[in-house]
Each structure stands twice: as structure tokens, then as C-alpha cells.
Structure 1
Amino acid sequence: MDHVSNLPDGVLCHILSFLTTKEAALTSILAKRWLNLLAFVPSLTIDDSVFLHPEKRKRGSFMDFVDRVLALQGNSPLKKFSLKCETNEADTDRLDGWISNVLARRGVSDLDLKIRLRTYKRDEWVLYQLSPKCFECSTLVKLSIGTGIDLTFVAGRVFLPFLKTLVLDWVMVYPNEFETLLHALPSLEELVLVCVIWYGLEDVTVSSASLKTLTIKSACWLNTLSIDTPSLVHFEYSGSVAPDYSVVNMGNLVDAQIIFSFTELQLRLLLREPDNDEVSLGNSNVWKLFHGIRNVWNLSMLPDTLEVLSMCSESMPVFNNLKSLDIRSDKDRGWKAMPALLRNCPHLETLVIQGLVHRVTDKCGDVCGCISREVKGLSLRLCPVKVIKIHGFQGTMKEMALIKHFLDYFPCLKEMEVYVEENSPAQPGNHEISKRVLKMFELYNKLSSCNVRLIAGNILCVRSG
């Protein structure tokens, strides 16, 4: 018996909403029971790459299909409309009509647009000028716009009173219009900016009194970046360093992840001192960004970020609220920022280190025991960390020595968890090396008051002391 077809219409439509619109349409051939269910599906996901074979991309067949689906649904309520279109010679009037249909008459709350148009004769991509009607809807809660869409000249006509989430991904916009847009969104809680192309590379300001989550993934250099978000709780930034951060207001921040990324040449230019009147990237006021997040509770940084933070060692803020610090190491990046960073975290409880291998320099301070010095472990002695979690352990002698250094000089350390890197020599299968490692960790547990655990996969290799 066909038990599925006996389910109520509402349940079947809910099931169909998890399929692409093409897949949902194909169910109409199963039986008469399924013939008209597509008309009441509350979510449409239209993707021309799924609908068409790449070698047979024809504008008419795809666009006619979408016309038939929307005509079949009429004015039935629609929760989500997702449109991905990379069609040759697309009819922009019909695209505008589809978007106007779901916004004006269907009560859509989630709109996701990814539109890239390509001219047939020149075989080049062109920008799709988004209709201002996308910013005049009283039902939208989430709006995602990406891939080849021009947002200019729309910010002056904004009426999105209930919009909570805005995602801009590879779109073009004027910075001043973007600022106007944000001020017109009174309910905005989440903002995601991915590789936004700013016209003129002017000063960019993210200002919102209601914003709680902000994600910025930048692929271009900015003149200045200002962030005025007093209610922000979660912040993620990845990309290059801006020359200046004019305003950074994030007083209620809980979580922050800062990911600076550079080529080796860019990093050398950033860290070097300028000659005479030469202006280098090293003149960046990046310290303002770290001062703006000084109230954060949980902070995560990658290797390039630690290198950049070393520029701020003398002006590093005190992170009075910081409870958890997560850093990632790299063999080509140093720990020059670590001494000042640990000294400026007076209430730090948990330290997570993704890999102990790093570039050893005389500026690592007493955090690293790789270079002998008269005063050992001073920065560690001043840090109240209680728990250390080390990931990517390879079982080398240098790593073992650094672990011993931590055990000797962190005065409040109660627990240490060391996770063995998959396929590393320290795995239990490598008996000669793993036996030596196990003996060392057993010795650590005997000599230290800290509970040290060595973990490989889901296996606890060394129990607490």
C-alpha cells in the first residue's frame, strides 16, 4: 500500500518543500494524488544549474518552467523563495516579475537571490540591477542577495520593518547607500557581508543599534572601516587589515573571531618599519579594532592575526572579561604577541591552542621555552588559566618540552587535554614513538598537580593523575 500518498496535503507539501522545485514538480507523475500538490508547496528552490544540462543552457525552457510554476501556485502563501539563475540572455523583465510576485502577493518571509547574467554574443558577465521592490516588503524576515547583483540606487526606497537577517554576497554597493540601508532596518539582528564590492573603496561604516551578529569576509582593501554596533554579541572578521578603524563600538561582545590573511610579502610590508617619509601598511591603526573588542568573553585568532597583534604589544588593551582564548599556530608564524596577550587577560580560564608548532624568535618571550633565558615563565605566572586544550599534537620533542614548560609555569593550571593529530607518529599504532610519548605523559601526571590527558581519536591514552 502507498502509505505516503495517504498523508494529509499539508504534510506532503512540507515534505516537498525540502526538494528543489524541479524535483517537486516531477512528483506530479507519481499519481493523481500528487498532481496539484506543487501549487501549495510553501518553499520554492529554483536553480537553473539543476534544471538544465550545462551544454544545453537555453533561456526559454528554464524561464517558461518558472512561469508555469508561479502560475500554478497563484497567490497561495509562500514562506521561502530561492532563485539561482546564471542564464544566457535572461529576460530581466521576467526576473523582476517573479520577484515582485512573491513579495507583493505571496507573503514571503525568506528571499534568497543569486543572479548572474551573461550576454550571449560577448560571452561576458553583466550585473543584474536589483529592483527596489526587494526593499519594500512588510513580510520579509530574511533577505540574501548574492553573486553579480548591483544594489546601487535602491537604499532610498527601503521599507523592511521586520527584516532580521541580511546577507550580501559578492554584490556591488555604494558605502553611503549601505549606511542608509542599515539605518532603515529597525529590526535587523544579523548581518553577513561576504566579499562586498564597495564602489570607490571609500570609508565603510557598519552602524546599527539592533544588530547582534556581524560577519565580515572581505576580499578587498578598504580605506577605513567603522563598526558602531553597541548591541553586538557575535563578531567574525576575516580578510585584510584596514589602514584605520575610525569607530569600533562593541561594548557587549561575547564571541569574536579575528582572521587576518596575507601572502608572505603582504605580511612583511605590514610588519616592517617605513623608511624616511615612506608610508607602509605598518602604519595601520589596527590596535583600534582590538581596543573595540576588549570586553569580549571568548576570542579566537589565527596565525596571521597573532602576527598583526604583535604590532600592538605596547598598546594592547586589557581583556578584563576574557574567559576563553583560542589561537591557531603555524610553522611560518611567530608567537611575538603571546607574552603581552597573556599578561593582559587577568581572568582567563581556558586556553585552546590549535597546534604547538610555530616560528621561534627571540621575541616569543617567556611563553615559549624554546630559547633559554634568565627569566622564565614570567608571563605564564601572571596568567590565571585553569584549563589548556592542545590540538594537533605530533609527538615531537619540541612539543613535549613546551607542554612541560606550561606545566611548570602556569600556577593555576588544573587540567590539560592533548589531542593527537590523526595519522601522526604519536598515534597508538606507532608503537616505538607512542610508547615514549605515553611514558612522558605518565611522568607529567606524577610530577604535576595538573590532570594531564592524552587523547587519540576517541581513545583516552593517558588518564588523569
Structure 2
Amino acid sequence: MDRMSNLPDPILAHILSYLTTKDAVQTSLLAKRYRNLWASVPSVDLDFNDFLSSGKDVEENFVKFVNDVFKHREPLTLESFNLVWNDKSSDPTPATAWLDTAAKLKSKFLSASISAEKYQIEVPDSVFTSESLQELVLELIFWAISPRSVKLPCLKRLTLKNIYFEAEILEKLLSGSPAIEEMVLHNCIWNSCCIFSSTLKNLVLNDCCDEISLSLDVLICVPSLEFLEVYSSWSLTMGKLKFKDMKSLVGAQIHLKELSDEEPLFLTGLTNVKSLELVLSVSALMAMKNLLRRKTNKFPTFDNLRSLKIGGWSITHDFDLVACFLLHAPNLKKLTLLHNEELESSEENIEISLQLGYSFNIVEIIYEKDDMSASNLVKSVETHFKFIREGNIISSD
């Protein structure tokens, strides 16, 4: 007995929504029961790569298929629309009309990942004025976005990847999204700007930079922010990254490749965190130590810090920055050391005397499997922190 075919249409349509739109349309060949069922599926999922085996005219076949999908779909609202068009030699301009249609169908989730070397598309204003959209993901390979107006009353999550935009555009996106809670900016290029929002709770900045200075020149002023992630995997200068009014911040992950020693110590804006992960290259570590040598840059106190994960260099050779945190985090409970044998810093150290009486009771050491110097760090920890029970020193690779 074919029990599945006896299910109600809404349930079958929901099941088909887990397939790509191409596969959902192909189910119409299974039986008469499925002939038009795909047309009521509440999602559209399109990928150019799914048509690479369709013959020579891949671009033409893909465009015709998508146009037919929208032409024959039942006039229902969309739950989600996802488009991937990563063929750099084809012309993706038809995507503008598709995005406009998806927005007007009151899609709650809209994602577009489009790349082309000779062509650019315009993201229609309807995407930025959708009253139903809850999540927006745009990846446009350094094309500029410039909406004339932004009115996204239900938007909660915004992700921008590989996009260029003026500073005022980002400010317009945030001010026009009064319910936004999470924003991810990945590999974006902008002019100097301020990130301000009264509702944002999660913020991720991954390899973003200023167009002129190639540094992350941004002021973050988000009173409601709870979690912050900043990643710099290439040589960006992070000294112009400033924090203001971050009283709600609970956790932060900061990974820096470079750090300007001409700017104030940025850690002063993170003093309220309970959990901090700080990963520095040797270059960034040296810049941080240069800051600490200056009388005008006092190391901040982290009264709320309970968990600290720190490293990225050979901590065996340079324990100074770790010591600074230990002396200024009186309520620390867990210390995790990320040891890297290959990244040794200079032998020049800041004179800091360690004192007993720390309140934390767990030390975790994470290192590469073939890191022969990690055993020396384990012995050093056992020597310096005798008050920690031996079973609470954890080594892992």
C-alpha cells in the first residue's frame, strides 16, 4: 500500500520542501498524485550547479527552468527562497527579477549567493522593504549594495558576504531593521563607520576592512550586544576597532593577525565579559606588549571574567600576556591555553611577578598532536599553579 501518497497535500508539500526545487519538480513523474504537487511547496531552492549536466546551454536551461517555476507555482506566499549562482562566466542579471518576485511573495527567509566576473546585478528595493522577511543572506562577490530605503520590520538576522558598501548603507540597514538581533559581516569592504543598534545581540565581523586603509576602522556601540566575534585571518590592522557602551556583553571571541600599536588598548571595551577567547599571532602579541609598556595604557580589570581561552603563539616562550590576565581577572574559574610551537615570540619579556591565590581551578592546554614543546608548558603550569589539583590540568590535542 502506498501510504505516503494518501497523506494530505500540505504534508506532502512540506516533505517536498526538503528537496531542491529541481528534484521537487521531478517528483511530478512519479504518479498522477504528484503531478502538480511541487507547485504548492512553500520553498524555492535553486542551484546553478544542478544544471551542469543538462547540456551545452546550461545558462539558458537554468534561466528557463526558474522562470517556469515562478510561472507555474500556485499564487501562494513563500517561506524561503535560496539561490546559488556561482558560475563566473554566465550572466546572472535575471536574478534581479527572481529576488523581486521572492520578496513580493512575502518570503520569510531569502538567500542569494551570486558571483560573476563580467556582470553585476542590482538587488531590488523590494528585498529591503519586505514586511515579512526575517532572515536575509547576501553574497555578491564585492558588488555594491545601495538600497534607496530600508524598511524591514521583522528582520532578525542579516548576513552579508563579499560585499562592498558605503558606511551610511550599513547604518541605514540597521536603523531600518528595528527587530534585528544578529548580524554577520564576512569579507566585506566598507568606508569607516559606526555599528549602532539598540536590539542587536550577536555580531560577527570576519575579515572585514576599510576600503582605503585596509584596516578594521569601526566603532561598535551596541548596548544590547551579548556575543561578539571578530576574526582577522590576514594582515588587517585592528587598532582602530573601538567599543563603546558594551554593558550587556557576555562572551567575545577575538582572533587577530595584526594589531596597531598606535591606538589605545581595545580590550578596555570588553571588561564586562564572562567568557573571552583571545587568539593572537606573534606580530599582534608584540604590538599588544608594546601597548602594555606605555604608562598611559593600563591593563583593564575583568571582574566578571570566568572563562579565558588565550594563545596562538608559543606560550612556553612568552607567558607575559597570560600573566597580565591572571593578575586582572580575580574571579577566573577556567584557563585554556592554546599553544602553538611554530609561532615563537621574542625572548624579551615584561617583568610581571605571578602571585598565588587565584580562584580558578581548571587549566586546559590545547596543542597540535606533534607539538613536542607542549610538555614543557604542561610542566610549567604544574609548577606555577600547585594549588590546582593535578587532575584538573587537562592536556588535549
Q: TM-score w.r.t. structure 1 length?
A: 0.74
**In 1, distance between residues paired with 2:385 and 2:358?**
7
CA 395–126 in structure 1, closer or farther in 2 if over 3 Å, else same = closer
Residue of structure 2 aligned with 1:359, choices 339, 344, 351: 344
- C-alpha displacement of 1:255: 1.1
Residue of structure 2 aligned with 1:320, choices 290, 300, 303: 303
- State how 1:222-371 maps to structure 2 within 5 Å: 222=215, 224-239=217-232, 240-261=236-257, 281-285=260-264, 287=265, 289-304=266-281, 306-314=285-293, 315-331=298-314, 334-355=318-339, 357=341, 359=344, 361-363=346-348
Query: CA contact under 8 A between 1:339 and 1:365: conserved in structure 2?
Result: no
- C-alpha displacement of 1:391: 2.5
Match of residue 408 from structure 1: 383
**In 1, distance between residues paired with 2:370 and 2:206?**
35
- C-alpha displacement of 1:149: 6.3
Residues 236-245 or 53-62, more deviating: 53-62
Query: CA contact under 8 A between 1:193 and 1:217: conserved in structure 2?
Result: yes
Match of residue 457 from structure 1: none
**In 2, distance between residues paired with 1:382 and 1:57?**
72
State the one-letter code of the partner of 2:304: N
Match of residue 184 from structure 2: 192
Query: CA contact under 8 A between 1:307 and 1:335: conserved in structure 2?
Result: no
Query: CA contact under 8 A between 2:139 and 2:160: conserved in structure 1?
Result: yes
Query: CA contact under 8 A between 1:226 and 1:245: conserved in structure 2?
Result: yes
Aligned sequence identity (%): 27
Match of residue 441 from structure 1: none
State the one-letter code of the partner of 1:296: V
* Greater per-residue helix proportion: 1
Match of residue 425 from structure 1: none
SS at match of 2:248: coil
Kindly provide the CA deviation profile for residues 307-331 of structure 1, in whole angstroms up to 9, marking residues without a partner as x: 5433333522111111001123344
CA 54–328 in structure 1, closer or farther in 2 if over 3 Å, else same = farther
Residues 79-88 or 412-421, more deviating: 412-421
**In 1, distance between residues paired with 2:90 and 2:345?**
57
Kindly provide the CA deviation profile for residues 333-360 of structure 1, in whole angstroms up to 9, marking residues without a partner as x: 8444222122111111001123374636
Match of residue 133 from structure 2: 140
Match of residue 42 from structure 2: 42
**In 1, distance between residues paired with 2:60 and 2:368?**
57
State the one-letter code of the partner of 2:152: L
Residue of structure 1 aligned with 2:193, choices 200, 204, 208: 204
CA 331–355 in structure 1, closer or farther in 2 if over 3 Å, else same = closer
Q: CA RMSD in A?
A: 2.8
Kindly provide the CA deviation profile for residues 362-390 of structure 1, in whole angstroms up to 9, marking residues without a partner as x: 445689xxxxxxxxxx4252532211122
Residues 306-315 or 219-228, more deviating: 306-315
Runs of 4+ in 1 over 6 A off after TM superposition: none
Query: CA contact under 8 A between 1:255 and 1:299: conserved in structure 2?
Result: yes
SS at match of 1:211: coil
**In 1, distance between residues paired with 2:40 and 2:145?**
35
- State how 1:364-443 maps to structure 2 within 5 Å: 378-379=353-354, 381=356, 383-392=358-367, 398-410=373-385, 412-414=387-389, 415-421=391-397
- C-alpha displacement of 1:86: 3.7
CA 81–395 in structure 1, closer or farther in 2 if over 3 Å, else same = closer
CA 396–98 in structure 1, closer or farther in 2 if over 3 Å, else same = closer
- C-alpha displacement of 1:187: 0.5
Query: CA contact under 8 A between 2:92 and 2:114: conserved in structure 1?
Result: no
**In 2, distance between residues paired with 1:396 and 1:152?**
46
SS at match of 1:125: coil
Match of residue 111 from structure 2: 112
State the one-letter code of the partner of 2:301: V
CA 67–23 in structure 1, closer or farther in 2 if over 3 Å, else same = same
SS at match of 2:230: strand
Match of residue 163 from structure 2: 171
SS at match of 1:311: helix
State the one-letter code of the partner of 1:352: T
Residues 189-198 or 296-305, more deviating: 296-305
Query: CA contact under 8 A between 1:242 and 1:284: conserved in structure 2?
Result: no
- State how 1:93-132 maps to structure 2 within 5 Å: 94-104=94-104, 106-117=105-116, 124-132=117-125
**In 1, distance between residues paired with 2:97 and 2:155?**
22
Residues 319-328 or 398-407, more deviating: 398-407
**In 1, distance between residues paired with 2:99 and 2:187?**
24
State the one-letter code of the partner of 1:317: P
Residues 70-79 or 385-394, more deviating: 385-394
SS at match of 1:206: strand
**In 2, distance between residues paired with 1:226 and 1:252?**
17
**In 2, distance between residues paired with 1:132 and 1:312?**
46
Query: CA contact under 8 A between 2:185 and 2:208: conserved in structure 1?
Result: no
Look at both structures and tell me which one has the larger radius of gyration over its CA atoms.
Answer: 1
CA 167–57 in structure 1, closer or farther in 2 if over 3 Å, else same = farther
Match of residue 442 from structure 1: none
- C-alpha displacement of 1:8: 2.8
Q: TM-score w.r.t. structure 2 length?
A: 0.86
**In 1, distance between residues paired with 2:309 and 2:91?**
47
